[in-house]
Structure 1
Amino acid sequence: MFQHTIDKDLALRVFRLDDAEEFFQLTIKNKAYLKEWLGWLDYTNTVEDTKENIRGRLQGMVETGGYPKSVAISYKGKIAGTIGYNEINRTSRIGKIGYWLGEEYQGKGIMTKACEAFITYGFTELDLNRIEIAAATGNKKSRALPERLKFTEEGTIRQAEWLYDHYVDHVIYGLLREEWARNHS
């Protein structure tokens, strides 16, 4: 089972079905906070909805030959959020990362460390050549992450996502394996 320890407080690990209650409670506690930028929250109303989400994540491991596409971010033994490849194009070897963190876990460097580890995992274990991150133009916290990790801002997709009652534009960031290797050698 995939588990990657980042430091004494922080690890990435595969979700388990018995995480459903804890992950659901984190989601519900942060629903108002997350709803500003995530469009799926109206579909998470019960622990069973979260179990279905986790089942889908586990099925993603089957699709990748045993490698997880998304994982729990565990901080001091509690689920703090999640990071994953929302999409993997095997032919072109491109992965698209998505992530979110509970509000109480913000500002501790958790997502930066988690994203660095997941990028390394994508390039080394999943054999990706390119990793993309899309963030709403107004989502300054989410945009700061790829900028901090030396992704290249490649452009803006207009009206890329419907968020409840309006469209938002997305800024697309890209990072190539050779760029990551150059910055991490």
Structure 2
Amino acid sequence: MFTLESSRLRIMNEIIVDKDLKLQLVSLDQEFAKEAYEVVDRNRELLQAWLPWAKMTKSGDDELEYFSNSLKRFKEGQCMEMCILHRRKDCRHDEDNKPWEFIGMCGLVNIIRDAETKQEPCAEIGYWLDQAHHGKGIITKCCLKLEEAAFTKLDISKLKIIAHKDNRPSVAVAHRLGFHLTEEKLLKPNPTLHYNAENRIIFSLTEEEWMSRRQ
């Protein structure tokens, strides 16, 4: 099994995006899980239209269980789900004030390394953002940093974005990132990420394409 101890995932607990944004591995802190749930709850109507897990998450305990399962899969090298943290503008930086607030998620929701089929390592990027922070390019900036980490530190050969064909904001992110639409079909929908396969479209970006874009 591809495990955390034998991978480079162990160094990816935090990714700095810019001075006001960072990606951080999910936490088992109960207060943090409660904060994350509150953001999910106030965005529920939008999220559940595209993401089945939004209907399943009904409490802070549900969020904590999700984080726990995510960390378990992280240790097994199967994902790297990260929280988007935004610097609070009004924080006094004392013991009673936390300088960062949870505003969404952006990470590798599925990492596939199949030694038997010799398939090149690939990963699916997943993301969502609090509506209050839409329109600021946050997801695009976070995904660009995630791409760099995947291709330069995690030995990923291809990244995918799987989106509902009618989810225009998600499709727009894929285009802005330079991913191209494929003819690939979603054969085994993840019941927490995808309602069905028929309406899903798959975008991809290879390491070679990413490297040529940077030259």
Under a length normalisation based on structure 2, what TM-score does the superposition of the two structures give?
0.78
Counterpart Cα distance in 1 of 2:38 and 2:137: 22
Tell me which of 81, 85, 95 is aligned to 2:104: 81
- Counterpart for residue 32 of structure 1: 45
Q: Deviations over 1:98-149 (max 9, x none)?
A: 1111111111110000001111111112101000101111001000111111
Counterpart Cα distance in 2 of 1:112 and 1:40: 22
Task: Structure 2: give runs of 5+ residues left out of the alignment.
Answer: 1-10, 88-99, 115-119
- Counterpart for residue 102 of structure 1: 130
Give percent identity, aligned residues only.
29
Residue 57 of structure 2 corresponds to residue 44 of structure 1: yes
Residue 50 of structure 2 corresponds to residue 22 of structure 1: no
Structure 1 residues 168 and 41: alpha-carbon distance in aligned structure 2, compared to 1, 3 A threshold: farther
Kindly report the root-mean-square deviation, in angstroms, between the aligned alpha carbons of the 2 structures: 2.0
- Counterpart for residue 162 of structure 1: 195
Counterpart Cα distance in 1 of 2:19 and 2:59: 32
Counterpart Cα distance in 1 of 2:58 and 2:198: 24
- Cα deviation for residue 158 of structure 1 reads 7.8
Tell me which of 136, 139, 147 is aligned to 1:111: 139
Residue 122 of structure 2 corresponds to residue 122 of structure 1: no
Matched AA of 1:88 = I
Matched AA of 1:183 = R
Under a length normalisation based on structure 1, what TM-score does the superposition of the two structures give?
0.90
Q: Deviations over 1:61-108 (max 9, x none)?
A: 2112xx961100111221111012221111230101111111111111
Q: Count residues with an aligned counterpart.
A: 180
- Counterpart for residue 176 of structure 1: 206
Larger Rg: 2
- Counterpart for residue 53 of structure 1: 66
Whether the 8 Å contact between 1:134 and 1:170 is mirrored in structure 2 is yes
- Cα deviation for residue 156 of structure 1 reads 6.5
Task: Structure 1: give runs of 5+ residues left out of the alignment.
Answer: none
Matched AA of 1:15 = V
Secondary structure of the structure 1 residue equivalent to 2:127: strand
Structure 1 residues 26 and 168: alpha-carbon distance in aligned structure 2, compared to 1, 3 A threshold: farther
Counterpart Cα distance in 1 of 2:74 and 2:55: 26
- Cα deviation for residue 168 of structure 1 reads 5.6
Select between 135-144 and 37-46 the one with higher mean Cα deviation: 37-46
Whether the 8 Å contact between 2:110 and 2:125 is mirrored in structure 1 is yes
Counterpart Cα distance in 2 of 1:158 and 1:72: 26
Matched AA of 2:124 = K
Tell me which of 117, 135, 146 is aligned to 2:174: 146
Structure 1 residues 108 and 162: alpha-carbon distance in aligned structure 2, compared to 1, 3 A threshold: same
Whether the 8 Å contact between 1:162 and 1:168 is mirrored in structure 2 is no
